[in-house]
């Protein structure tokens, strides 16, 4: 069965750390980093990259479109 | 599989649309304006009408929209965006003209322009962001502020006896014969964003067919005006705004639902 694996890339300078992407992620992939960006905001990162399915939920609720999503099909 | 094997250009399924400029959005973190801007531009990108679209940005938080939207934009005086859009649409009937307004702009100072543009049935799209407050000027009470809701000019909550009831602008314009498509959407979760994008797409398709005015209200949060974190503001919006401003289509193809 083909399995889907995904990944997100967060533009850390654009992210404003609003955390809207965290509750919409069904797989609990995203958390906020302890570090801050140049504006002083904590930015989103993949805490749990194995679980990401590339569903794009986080990216379409991101008001600043800081998240790009990648997805591949993996045959097992 | 390593992350670097997944993160390749050919595997990309979502990124920011090219119709948004690289200027960082001036909105507060978590504000629905950013999402509304982006879905509007994504619709224009998908329809391939960038060259023929003219946006009208009024006064309010959305005043800087021309900095972010990579299309032809013009500026209108406070509340007068539907009047300016009328002029543009009548001068260039084949262009796609839309206004992007907040509630302090569209429902307060621009009530007359909005109602008359809707009554005349001009061929424009109005995108109305309703967050129940004047966001840019410091959280003053707007006509759409809910009963009992605190703002900087109603510190004890809105009192219906002295300040009137919250104005349901979308239901109001749906009664007018000139409106063709009237809907209310939200952008706080992925499901609502997808629905809102469909509604905006429908509005621009109506524009293409010269059907008359399409009015899309987007109930949004104003986390700094409401003095909450973005996620708390979204929850508050679901609990308090949605019962008074129910989501869904109000008028489709010129017929009330």
| Best mutation target, B30, B45, B68, to test chain A (most A CBs within 10 A) | B30
Question: Could you give the CA distance from residue B89 to residue B81 in angstroms, rounded to a whole number?
Answer: 12
Domain ranges of chain B: 26-256
Q: Do A67 and B14 touch (CB under 8 A)?
A: yes
Question: Could you give the CA distance from residue B229 to residue A18 in angstroms, rounded to a whole number?
Answer: 8
Query: What pLDDT shows up at residue A75?
Result: 78
User: Ramachandran region of residue B178, left (φ > 0), alpha (ψ -120 to 50) or beta?
Assistant: alpha
Chain A touched by B20 (CB under 8 Å): yes
Contact present, B218 and B197 (Cβ < 8 Å): no
Query: What pLDDT shows up at residue B64?
Result: 86
Strands A2-10 and A67-75: antiparallel
pLDDT digits (tens, 9 = 90+) for A8-62: 999 999 999 999 999 999 989 999 999 999 999 999 999 998 899 999 999 999 9
Percentage, residues of chain B above pLDDT 70:
100
Tokens of B158: 């809105």
What average pLDDT does the structure give for chain A?
A: 91
CA B135 vs. chain centroid, Å, equals 14
Tokens of B109: 């100072």
pLDDT-based confidence at B45, cuts 50/70/90? Answer: very high
Neighbouring residues of B92: CB distance < 8 A, sequence distance ≥ 6: B54
- pLDDT of residue A1 exceeding 70, the answer is no
B255 DSSP β-pair partners: B252
Query: What pLDDT shows up at residue A29?
Result: 92
Query: What pLDDT shows up at residue B216?
Result: 95
On whether the pTM is more than 0.90, the answer is yes
- pLDDT of residue B98 exceeding 70, the answer is yes
Contacts with A61 from chain B: Cβ below 8 Å: 35, 187-190, 193
Q: CATH 3.40.50.970: does it fit domain B26-256?
A: yes
- pLDDT of residue A76 exceeding 80, the answer is no
Question: Could you give the CA distance from residue B57 to residue B137 in angstroms, rounded to a whole number?
Answer: 17
DSSP string covering B129-141: EE-SSBTTTTSB-
Chain B residues 25-64 within an 8 A CB cutoff of chain A: 25, 27-35, 38
Show the domains of chain A with their CATH numbers. Answer: 2-75 (3.30.70.20)
Three-state secondary structure readout of chain A: CEEEEEEEEECCCCCCCCCCHHHHCCCCCEEEEEEECCCCCEEEEECCHHHCCCCCHHHHHCCCCCEEEEEEEEEC
- pLDDT of residue B2 exceeding 90, the answer is no
- Mean predicted confidence (pLDDT) in B28-53: 94
Closest in B12, B14, B29 to A41, CB measured: B29
Query: What pLDDT shows up at residue B100?
Result: 94
Which residue pairs from B48-54 have beta carbons closer than 8 angstroms and sit at least 24 positions apart in sequence? B49/B96, B49/B204, B50/B19, B52/B94, B52/B95, B52/B96, B53/B95, B53/B96, B53/B97, B53/B98, B54/B88, B54/B92, B54/B95, B54/B96, B54/B97, B54/B98
What average pLDDT does the structure give for chain B?
A: 93
Closest in A7, A9, A63 to B31, CB measured: A63
- pLDDT of residue B5 exceeding 90, the answer is no
Q: How far is A15 from chain B (nearest CA, A)?
A: 8
Token pair 């302090």 is at which residue? B104
């Amino acid at each position: 069965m083909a399995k889907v694996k995904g990944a997100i890339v967060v533009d850390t300078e654009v992210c404003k750390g609003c955390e809207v992407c965290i509750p919409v992620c069904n797989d609990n992939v995203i958390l906020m980093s302890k570090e801050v960006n140049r504006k002083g905001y904590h930015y989103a990162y993949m805490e749990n990259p194995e679980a990401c399915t590339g569903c794009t939920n986080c990216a379409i609720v991101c008001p600043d479109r800081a998240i790009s999503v990648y997805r591949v099909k993996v045959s097992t | 599989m390593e992350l670097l094997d997944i993160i390749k250009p050919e595997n990309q399924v979502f990124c920011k649309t090219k119709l948004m400029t690289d200027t960082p959005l001036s909105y507060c973190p978590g504000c629905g304006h950013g999402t509304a801007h982006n879905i509007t531009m994504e619709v224009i990108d998908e329809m391939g009408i960038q060259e023929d679209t003219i946006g009208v940005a009024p006064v309010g938080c959305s005043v800087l929209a021309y900095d972010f939207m990579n299309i032809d934009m013009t500026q209108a005086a406070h509340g007068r965006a539907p009047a300016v859009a009328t002029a543009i649409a009548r001068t260039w009937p084949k262009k796609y003209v839309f206004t992007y307004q907040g509630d302090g702009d569209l429902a307060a100072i621009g009530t007359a322009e909005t109602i008359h543009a809707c009554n005349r049935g001009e061929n424009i799209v109005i995108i109305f962001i309703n967050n129940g407050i004047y966001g840019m000027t410091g959280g003053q009470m707007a006509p759409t502020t809910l009963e009992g809701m605190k703002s900087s000019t109603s510190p004890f909550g809105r009192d219906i006896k002295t300040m009137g009831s919250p104005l349901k602008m979308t239901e109001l314009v749906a009664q007018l014969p000139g409106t063709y498509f009237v809907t209310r959407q939200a952008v706080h979760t992925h499901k609502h964003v997808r629905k809102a994008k469909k509604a905006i797409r429908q509005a621009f398709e109506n524009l293409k067919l010269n059907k008359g005015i399409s009015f899309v209200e987007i109930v949004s949060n104003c986390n700094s005006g409401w003095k909450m974190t973005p996620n708390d503001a979204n929850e508050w919006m679901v609990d308090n705004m949605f019962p008074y401003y129910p989501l869904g289509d109000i008028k489709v193809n010129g017929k009330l639902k």
